[in-house]
Amino acid sequence: MQFIRTDIEDVVIIEPTVHGDSRGYFVETFRADKLEEFLGYKINFCQDNESKSSKGVLRGLHYQLHPAAQTKLVRVIQGRVLDVAVDIRKNSPTFGQHVAVELSSENKKQLLVPRGFAHGFVVLEDDTIFAYKVDNYYSPENDRGIAFDDASLNIDWILNHDELKLSPKDTKQPKLSETNDLFEYGVDYYNV
């Protein structure tokens, strides 16, 4: 299992080791001890989520406010997505910047999206199954979002706008500059 820091240091790509032969393959998809050793802090995942989507479905950009803020460990079981994490920590040197990584059943990559980031993905193949762990339970009253098409974020979602399928909720999210529901850079949201 290899851990790779991205251009935004707190967002981490995880590349598991795949052991394959003529029978198929085996892969460890999660090791708390190795992840925590790499990060230098504990993460207590408490909920697993899974979605199945057709090509063009865009979910995001979502996050939850403190005290229900979530770290997400995301992966694709079947199909392919472009996964995006946006830094929404005020005063961060990378505020408003994003990391975009293709996750697929073929490459087996995962993305760790820490607290303080908005998260979203667009589905690039039909029948894509997306799975993720979170370290805090879903909290409707703390649920927030940022507009996926906020021009200031400069996210290339790969697909044309007319190919995208969004929930009513995701068509009404505010731009980053229009919300005060953000995080503060330098605050340890794991121990507040």
80 to each of 7, 73, 74, how far by Cα in Å?
22, 16, 12
Q: Any known ligand binding at 49?
A: yes
Q: Any known ligand binding at 23?
A: yes
> What secondary structure letter does DSSP report for 165?
B
Q: Any known ligand binding at 48?
A: yes
Q: Any known ligand binding at 107?
A: no
Q: Any known ligand binding at 72?
A: yes
In angstroms, rounded to a whole number, what is the distance separating the alpha carbons of residues 143 and 147?
14
Catalytic residue among 63, 98, 132, 189: 132
Active-site annotation holds for 185: no
Catalytic residue among 41, 62, 137, 138: 62
Q: Any known ligand binding at 150?
A: no
Q: Any known ligand binding at 156?
A: no
Q: Any known ligand binding at 47?
A: yes
Active-site annotation holds for 41: no
Annotated binding site for substrate: 23, 28, 47-49, 59, 72, 119, 143, 165
Q: Which residues are catalytic?
A: 62, 132
